[in-house]
Structure 1
Amino acid sequence: MKTMNPQNLSAQEASFDKLADLPFAEGRPTKETAQTLRDELLFQRATQAYLWAMPLINTLGMQVGSEKTFGAGYNILPIWKQRLDAKTLVTTPNSDVLYAMSYVDLGKDGPLVMEAPPGLQGILLDYWQRPIPVEGGKFFGDVGLAGPDGGKGGKFLLLPPGYKGPVPEGYYVYRSGTYNVFIFLRGFFEDPTNLAPAVAHLERTKVYPLNGEAAAKPMKFPDASGIPADMLPISDGSAFDQLKLLVDRESDKLAGPDWLGMLAAIGIVKGQPFTPDAHTREILDLAAKTAYKMSRVIGFQDTLNGGSLYMYPDRHWINPLDNVTPPSPRTTMDLSWMNVAGGYRALDARIWFFTDYYSISPGMLSKIPGKGAAYMVGFTDGEGEPLVGGNNYRLHLPPNIPAAIFWSLTLYDAANASGLDNGQRFPSLGSRDKPAQNADGSTDLYLGPKAPEGKAGNWLATVSGKGYFTILRLYGPTESAIDKSWEPGDIEKVK
């Protein structure tokens, strides 16, 4: 870790000193001191409220961007029918599966049924992006291959908080902690040149009110591919407007009295107008922008909860999920980011995750060979230096890459974790692209502004002046990925 520049530290200390030394007269704050500290208090409260709400702000960013572009309602399920490219701004998307994502409100529409065809991999999450528990206690959030249906498909019933009505037979029952629910589905394809069968399969999904299928709105599946849409976490003052709308819909289902009190302290109260004046609005906007930048600082850390995130003792790959395990009394942290041993919410770990990623479930953490996925994040090269768009790098993948379904490497913009807009159709390269192998069965991938001579099929473009990071995904990781006996090389700088 690099130390802070002493000159910058002195400037920072001077700023703190200025606040601490504001004058009081006869034991009372002067008018100017009071105004300065009131503004500072609003700024600090808003900044901390933003960071606390990072999972909500991530979800709201996706919802606002999607619904603005593709429409809203339980019957609207956008599908990236030509795969997800860099025109869709969203945290760490995967261009190597088909995405379908929607946002439903159980408070407005009541219990909803989602019918899903076989063979999908999906997650049902509340607005904190906590996987929704399935009645019976064995599953959390997962739908499809890792869910209670085991990939056979079926009817999944979403119930709102506190629901006490009848529960009919024949459904997998999910009881949400919030009225608002995020539906995230992945569809798989075998031939990248013919996605139509996988799209048609995803379009067999239906969402409709319980006992209201006959009168339900017809499903719509807008094609989201190639259409500009900003679905990133909201990084300006409008984040607080969206939190106000969510508080109005959720109230005490969203948070406990302390954090509802923090929101109230910046003017966000259920059922009351949220009309900040121009001065307050300016402070809230600056707080949101600052908090988002703070989240980016946390998001590039290589340690959390006092421990290293590195996967291997001699490599620079990080696994964002190694510190998170499915709910169990034996775990160190559950999927609501509670540190079980310490009995506290691991706020930095939650911020770390939701500034760069979204959605999590036990199925994503599966240690059963051939199921789930393994993720390896590369923030730096083999020397521990950040990846630079103008440099050339090589990544060596040893033979027998342990992925039963497929593997891929994807590049992400360091500024916002969205897919790197590098001029190629997709910022990813993987097994289904059939890169050339070496004589021993290993594979070398190349990252840089220009393809090395004769290596274009194994090359991902980078952009000079734009930093990035990478994710190596192994879908259906086999035993050597799970026990870490197979290790990818570091990303090494080359001339």
Structure 2
Amino acid sequence: MTRVLLGCVTVSTLLSGCSSTVGAADSDAQSPVARYDALADLPFPEGYPTKGAASALKDELLFQRATQVYLWALPVVNLYAMKESSERAFGAGYDVFPVWKKRLDARTRVATPNSDVIYAMGYIDLGRDGPMVVEIPPKQQGILNDFWQRPIEGPDIDGKQYAGDVGFAGPDRGKGGKFLVLPPGYRGAAPEGYFVYRSRTNNVLAFWRAFFADPENLAPSVGLIEQTRIYPLGKPGASMRFPDASGKPVDMLFPSDGSFFDMLARFVDSEPLDTADSDWRGMMAAIGIVKGQPFKPDAHTRAILDAAARTAFKMSRSMMYEELAKRPGGLIYSDRQYVTPTRNFVTDREWTDKAGRFLDLDARTAAYSIVYGTSPAMGSSVPGQGAPFLTAFKSGDGRFLSGERNYRLHLPPNVPAAIFWSVTLYDTETASGPDNGQPLPSIGSRDKPVSNADGSVDLYFGPDAPPGKERNWRHTVPGKGFFAMLRLYGPTQAYFDQSWKPGDIERVN
């Protein structure tokens, strides 16, 4: 029986129904049921599998397990890819803290960045370097996440449990301070004089965002970030390096092919055994990933893992782009297309369902397919705090946004953002800024777009700038889809009670 590599799995030609469905474009007439029936009907004469049936089922099982491992491990590989890319571009070590000193543009490929604040991202290895002191400058909005993208547990002060957030929303309340980050399983007594955070992974993301008042004068914000100091406990003399990451071509995206599993294997080797429970360690072992053992799949296995990764990547994006709006609480407004990638369908930072019964794997996978970093404060429901991300993948008529078309977004007067608002465009394939020839992919209140007589603002997205509207326009790339995020920093009551709503993004040609 001839064997072929199909788009979703290596199986015999009797499963060729798979190839007719995977590559089809929105064809409701073609059903994958025939493929599943073919698997279920593989020959088992006298109850035993034929050699062909056993081989096909073995390959299918490898494919299915690899697909599920990809979706489950996406949060950690998302961050591990960022770490490895940053280290290649700017150097490795706790003393390296890259800063996007001229803001972040499309040359940095990273999931849904915000070019309207100054970014700085560093990576700490507690397994290698032990407990680490992080001195936070004043006036920062920062987070400390473990590599499962969980906010690291912080101190309980006056009845408030801090987790992940540092700076304005942290226990230092924007004044700056010394934070001590302890590794998993640390048993020693923590010294006095620190805000103590306890990580559940060796790898830690330190991610600062600094605000600026004037887009033409970023130096004060950059200067504050460069007051950051990171060093091993008891060794405060370490110097810091703050390479300028702006304008550098760096690809920090997680893989959408079989190299995802190589990266996952490296992460597993860098962590304690219990970074995953025994069930998921078993799932990883089934595809060849075991802590302390080399990950060296043969060519046949590698081909199946590559197909599984490419399929799982598309599954994760479909969860976000198509399925999220169908989930309870997925839509922000009943009469608009906007969704929030990381809120409404979970109750807390552990990604449990609303009743606290189970880990909502689909919600977590969908979110980390296009974002990174988890901050409890960003999801605050208190007016004036946090920053909701109103995200649109579709225009008002329910069609996905296309770089071929021209669109208008109407923002009614008095946008409910106490600090600032902005709209950023993203490429659907990379979820990073589109390479559209413009300096930045965003436009917001600090860019002083032209307002209408009533104080409302019309923004335009498309390949062509409407005559006389160039100041309010962002260029899209023909042949590429895009999506948009409206960020409201410091949302006011009108956002929460929905007395203010943005218009849908509407096609104008």
Same fold (TM over 0.5): yes
Q: 1:187 matched to which residue of 2?
A: 210
Whole-angstrom distance in 1 between the partners of 2:80 and 2:134: 21
The reply on whether 1:141 has 2:164 as its aligned counterpart is: yes
Q: 2:285 matched to which residue of 1?
A: 264
Deviations 1:355-397 (A, max 9, x none): 0111122110122222221210011111111111111111111
Is the 2:201–2:272 Cα contact (8 Å) retained in structure 1?
A: no
Whole-angstrom distance in 2 between the partners of 1:252 and 1:333: 28
The reply on whether 1:233 has 2:254 as its aligned counterpart is: yes
Q: 2:13 matched to which residue of 1?
A: none
The residue type equivalent to 1:232 in the other structure is L
Q: Of the candidates 326, 337, 357, which is equivalent to residue 351 of structure 2?
A: 337
Q: 2:132 matched to which residue of 1?
A: 112
Matched position secondary structure for 2:271: helix
Is the 1:305–1:346 Cα contact (8 Å) retained in structure 2?
A: no
Unaligned 5+ segments in structure 1 are 325-331
Within-5 A mapping of 1:422-437: 422-437=436-451
Whole-angstrom distance in 2 between the partners of 1:305 and 1:109: 45
Within-5 A mapping of 1:128-277: 128-136=148-156, 138-214=161-237, 216=238, 218-277=239-298
Matched position secondary structure for 2:124: strand
Q: 2:479 matched to which residue of 1?
A: 465
Aligned-pair identity in percent equals: 58
Q: Of the candidates 28, 32, 35, which is equivalent to residue 6 of structure 1?
A: 28
Whole-angstrom distance in 1 between the partners of 2:508 and 2:88: 44
Whole-angstrom distance in 2 between the partners of 1:30 and 1:202: 65
RMSD: 1.6
The reply on whether 1:417 has 2:431 as its aligned counterpart is: yes
Q: 1:408 matched to which residue of 2?
A: 422
The reply on whether 1:297 has 2:318 as its aligned counterpart is: yes
- Give runs of ≥4 in structure 1 deviating > 4 Å: none
Unaligned 5+ segments in structure 2 are 1-24
Deviations 1:419-460 (A, max 9, x none): 122111111001111001111111111111111111111111
Whole-angstrom distance in 1 between the partners of 2:92 and 2:316: 29
Q: 2:38 matched to which residue of 1?
A: 18
The residue type equivalent to 2:50 in the other structure is T
Task: After superposing the two structures, state which structure 1 stretch, 427-436 or 242-251, moved more.
Answer: 242-251
Task: After superposing the two structures, state which structure 1 stretch, 461-470 or 27-36, moved more.
Answer: 27-36
The residue type equivalent to 2:498 in the other structure is K
The reply on whether 1:371 has 2:385 as its aligned counterpart is: yes
Is the 1:120–1:186 Cα contact (8 Å) retained in structure 2?
A: yes
TM-fit CA distance, 1:304 = 6.8
Structure 1 residues 305 and 311, CA gap change in structure 2 (3 angstroms): closer
Whole-angstrom distance in 2 between the partners of 1:181 and 1:224: 20
Whole-angstrom distance in 2 between the partners of 1:166 and 1:18: 60
Deviations 1:181-212 (A, max 9, x none): 11111011111112122111111111100111
Matched position secondary structure for 1:460: strand
- Count matched residues: 482
Whole-angstrom distance in 1 between the partners of 2:402 and 2:394: 9
Q: Of the candidates 45, 58, 66, which is equivalent to residue 65 of structure 2?
A: 45
Is the 1:177–1:253 Cα contact (8 Å) retained in structure 2?
A: no
Whole-angstrom distance in 2 between the partners of 1:413 and 1:403: 25
Is the 2:320–2:341 Cα contact (8 Å) retained in structure 1?
A: no
The residue type equivalent to 1:178 in the other structure is T
The reply on whether 1:84 has 2:104 as its aligned counterpart is: yes
Whole-angstrom distance in 2 between the partners of 1:167 and 1:247: 27
The residue type equivalent to 2:59 in the other structure is D
TM-fit CA distance, 1:253 = 3.0
Alignment TM-score, normalising by the size of structure 1: 0.94
Q: 1:327 matched to which residue of 2?
A: none
Deviations 1:27-80 (A, max 9, x none): 322222222211111111111001011111211121122122112111111111
Task: After superposing the two structures, state which structure 1 stretch, 19-28 or 270-279, moved more.
Answer: 19-28
Matched position secondary structure for 1:447: strand
Matched position secondary structure for 2:116: coil
TM-fit CA distance, 1:323 = 1.7
TM-fit CA distance, 1:291 = 0.8
Whole-angstrom distance in 1 between the partners of 2:298 and 2:335: 54
The reply on whether 1:479 has 2:493 as its aligned counterpart is: yes
The reply on whether 1:354 has 2:368 as its aligned counterpart is: yes
TM-fit CA distance, 1:223 = 1.0
The residue type equivalent to 1:353 in the other structure is A
Whole-angstrom distance in 2 between the partners of 1:335 and 1:285: 31
Whole-angstrom distance in 2 between the partners of 1:389 and 1:273: 44
The residue type equivalent to 1:254 in the other structure is T
TM-fit CA distance, 1:306 = 4.4
TM-fit CA distance, 1:293 = 1.1
Q: 1:329 matched to which residue of 2?
A: none
Structure 1 residues 305 and 128, CA gap change in structure 2 (3 angstroms): farther
Matched position secondary structure for 2:483: strand
Q: 1:287 matched to which residue of 2?
A: 308
Structure 1 residues 170 and 124, CA gap change in structure 2 (3 angstroms): same
Q: Of the candidates 302, 313, 321, which is equivalent to residue 342 of structure 2?
A: 321
Matched position secondary structure for 1:290: helix
Structure 1 residues 433 and 8, CA gap change in structure 2 (3 angstroms): same
Q: 2:143 matched to which residue of 1?
A: 123
Whole-angstrom distance in 1 between the partners of 2:60 and 2:128: 38
Is the 1:305–1:349 Cα contact (8 Å) retained in structure 2?
A: no
